[in-house]
Amino acid sequence: MDTTRDHRLIVALDHDDPVKAQALVEQLGDRIGFYKIGLGSLNREGFSLIEFVRNQCCKRLFLDLKLFDIGSTVSRAARTLANRRPEFFTVRGHPPL
């Protein structure tokens, strides 16, 4: 983990235009090391924005996707997301019926 940046600040990349989201990451450069990508961006961009952020030097990633489905489906989705190496992602839970 990169210790030269303050990772308490997470910048949201929930932008309608993927080019502008990528430009923001490039503009902020080394000053920011932690980004959040929400479900809307994932639906629009697929994994391309995730890969762009992960390929920037030492960028940490929070996937705010709020996964919610039957357990086996969430488990498969979680395994797929884990391959993208986020620091964490959200799962929405509920008590068993």
* pLDDT confidence bin for 79, thresholds 50/70/90: very high
Q: Are 35 and 61 in contact (CB under 8 A)?
A: yes
Active site residues: 66
Which residue in this structure is represented by tokens 């990451």?
25
pTM: 0.81
Distance CA 11, CA 76 (A): 27
Q: Are 60 and 85 in contact (CB under 8 A)?
A: no
Q: How far is CA 62 from the centre of its chain?
A: 4
Q: Are 50 and 42 in contact (CB under 8 A)?
A: yes
- Residue 89 bridge partners (DSSP): 63
DSSP secondary structure letter of residue 5: S
- Residues 37-65 have pLDDT tens digits of 998 888 887 888 888 888 876 689 999 99
